[in-house]
Structure formats: structure tokens, C-alpha cells
Amino acid sequence: MSNSSLRFGVWAPVDANKSAQPGAPTPANFNQVRDFIVRAEELGFESTLLSLHTMKAGNPDIVEPWTAAAALAAVTKRIELIPAVKARLYHPVVLAKMMLGIEDVSGGRIGINFVNSFIKAEIEQAGIPFDEHDDRYAYGTEWLHIVRSLISGERVSFQGKHFEISDYALRPASRYRDRPRIYSGGESEPGRALAANFSDGWFLQGQPVADVKTLIDDMEARPRQAAAMRYLLSSYVIARETDDEAEDVLRDRLKLQEVTRGKTQNFLRDPARIDLKAVAFQRAALRGPVLGTGGGTGSRLVGSYETVARRMQEFQEIGVTDFMLQFQPLEEIEIIAGEVIPRVRSLELQAA
């Protein structure tokens, strides 16, 4: 396992439900995303994930991630931009060209997070077929093969079940590296196989250390495309001066969530709108309520500044290389940067 320094990233506030104090969301808009990510870069955060939803339960305002990433590329200098993509919504040739365009604007800082969507309504209500779980991964495997080849500067001819590409090349290719990075999530067997074959980094749901270790050990045992896989843990952070204070905040916010998210919860229980067979969805249901997206507080980054830092170190020791952090309100980024990350760096020095 890698003992190199942890990288810290943030979820961009593209969703109105995650943009403000819990219970009092404000409309999401690009200016808010821009200001937050510019500040994250100033504070030393190294990456940002821009989630992709064209629609969600409750119909909140949502900023489109690829246009936002292109705009962010022009107003940032160092932070890696990782917009998500759902393969059915973008043809691979078009998406690859978009990536190379943002790669040029950003000076080599664009990535991609491949998502095998479990929200049926988002796809079907657009008139697009929503395949069964494993069939979606079969589609995504062809899709990623084409995208990776094109963003690598290769001339592509491909014939598969879903795509036929004839003598296609995209110019200009990246001037900064061999190709942009590819990330993916998905903890099912098809999701793991896709990550092993195509990804430079694997996003993991927020969950306990033992569960994360089992997943990382499994991936490390597989033949992989990437010589050194990055393991990115999605986590919602509540850091306060004491453990008791942080736990009080968690309890209060879970109670508030129970009151305010009835419509969303009904959406997430409807098999006509959600693929209930998605592994991450099943595991999240078993773990009970959490705050945040992608497992959120399931990783238990809740406590005093020292507690949260030590828990991050525990994850680092079993192979996590990156944290992709969420918190509310957005101003709590100052707490994470000023109180938690310096403690993590100090622990790293002690362990060196």
C-alpha cells in the first residue's frame, strides 16, 4: 500500500440541496460553484468532484458539471477537475472531444468519473433505454474503451455490440501528458472489473475502515490497467472542538434530514425510478441513515479535529490515497483546511 501523502478534494456544490446550511438550501448556480472551488484551491485542496444529475428527486437546481468544469478550468490553476459522466447521456466521441478541450484550457487538469447510474427516471424520462445493471456495465466498458483510446491520441476503429467507430482520431491531443485521468466508482463485480481494466482511480463509498480494506485488498489482487491505483474515499465531515459537540451536530442533522427528505426517500424506494439492485444502494440501505452523498458519514469522519485526523490516518494505513470531502455549510471548508488537514500532515510526519 502507498504511504505517500494523502490528497484532499472536495465535492463541488452543484446541487442546491448541498449548497447551504442543512434545512435551508439556496439555489445552486455557477457563481457559487466558482467561488467555492477557487477558495478550495487557495486553501490547498487538490481536486474537486462535480457530480452529474440532469434531474433529481424534488427537482432541485443543479449545475451541469461539464460546462462548469470548462469554466472552472479558466479561473483555476492547480486543482484537478473531475466531472462525472453517465455513459448513456454522452456519445463517447463527443465526450472525448470535450475532455480534450478542457484538458487544453486547464493545462492538463481534467479527469472523468465514470458512473453507472442507478436513477432510472433520469434516463428513461429522456427517452433513453435504461439497461439492467450488468448490461449497463457492458455498455460502459465499450464506451470507456473508446474514450480512453481517443483521449490517448490514438486513431480508433471499433466494432462492438453498442458502438461502431471507423478510423477516428481527435486533435489536438493533450500537450501536457499521455492522457487525462479516468476514475470510476461501483463496488459490484462488474464495477470492480471495469475499474481494474480502465481506471487510474477508484471511488469508494463512505463506509467503515474494515469494509474499505476488504475492497482495496480485492482490487490490489487483480491484474490492473493502472500500475498504481488511487483509492478515493467519499466522506462527509463534521469536525468540531470536541467529539461530543460533533456527535450532537450529527444527531441534529439526521433528525432534520428525516423531516425534510420525505419526498427524496419515497423516490429512492420506488423501483420504477431507481435500480434497487445497485450494490452501493443496497449497502447504504443496510448501514442506516447517513448524511451526504456516496456513503457520506458512513466513514465516520465525525468528531474532534484530532479524532477526524486520526481516522483519516487509519484509512491511509489501509490504502486510501485521496479523500473527496463534503460538509455543510460550505464555510466549513475553513475548519477542514485550518484544523483537520494540518493535524493529518503532522501525523504523517510522525509516521514517516
**Residue given cell 485521468 in the structure block:** 181
**d(C-alpha 66, C-alpha 111), whole Å:** 11
User: What's the pLDDT score for residue 216?
Assistant: 98
* C-alpha torsion 113→263→328→42, nearest 10: 30
The number of folded domains in the chain is 1
Cβ-Cβ contacts under 8 Å for 293 (sequence gap 6 or more): 11, 18, 51, 234, 236, 326
Distances (CA, A) of 129 to 122, 141, 159, 313: 11, 17, 20, 43
Q: Is position 56 within any domain?
A: yes
User: What's the pLDDT score for residue 288?
Assistant: 72
Q: Is position 215 within any domain?
A: yes
Show pLDDT as tens, one digit a residue, over the chain (352 residues).
344 789 999 999 998 665 555 655 567 899 999 999 999 999 999 999 999 988 776 667 899 999 999 999 999 999 999 999 999 999 999 999 999 999 999 999 999 999 987 778 888 888 988 888 899 999 999 999 999 999 999 999 999 999 999 999 999 999 999 999 999 999 999 999 999 999 999 999 999 999 999 999 999 999 987 678 999 999 999 999 999 999 999 999 998 887 665 545 554 555 556 665 666 666 655 667 888 888 999 999 999 999 999 999 999 999 999 999 999 999 999 999 999 999 999 999 999 8
**Helix (H) or strand (E) run with residue 61 in it:** none
**Residue given cell 484530532 in the structure block:** 306
The grid coordinates of residue 304 equal 474532534
User: What's the pLDDT score for residue 2?
Assistant: 42
Q: Is position 198 within any domain?
A: yes
What DSSP designation does 77 have?
S
Terminal alpha carbon distance of the chain: 14
User: What's the pLDDT score for residue 289?
Assistant: 83
CATH of the domain at 19: 3.20.20.30
Q: Is position 1 within any domain?
A: no
- Indicate the residue type of 91: H
Q: Is position 41 within any domain?
A: yes
**d(C-alpha 141, C-alpha 93), whole Å:** 14
**d(C-alpha 11, C-alpha 290), whole Å:** 16
The grid coordinates of residue 24 equal 435551508
Contact 115, 53 (CB under 8 A): no
Name the β-bridge partners of 9. Answer: 47, 324
Name the β-bridge partners of 200. Answer: none
Containing domain of residue 115, as a range? 7-351
The secondary structure of the chain in percent helix, strand, coil, rounded to multiples of 5, reads 45, 15, 35
User: What's the pLDDT score for residue 123?
Assistant: 86
Cβ-Cβ contacts under 8 Å for 345 (sequence gap 6 or more): 5
**d(C-alpha 77, C-alpha 57), whole Å:** 34
Contact 187, 280 (CB under 8 A): yes
Q: How many CB atoms neighbour CB 59 within 10 A? A: 9
Contact 92, 85 (CB under 8 A): no
Q: Is position 132 within any domain?
A: yes
Q: Is position 223 within any domain?
A: yes
Of 2, 33, 151, 22, give the one whose Cα is nearest residue 85.
151
The grid coordinates of residue 221 equal 489482487
Describe the crossing of helices 92-106 and 133-151 by its angle, rounded to 10 degrees: 50
Q: Is position 327 within any domain?
A: yes
Predicted model pTM? 0.92
The grid coordinates of residue 76 equal 483555476
**d(C-alpha 26, C-alpha 17), whole Å:** 8
User: What's the pLDDT score for residue 273?
Assistant: 60
**Residue given cell 458512473 in the structure block:** 115
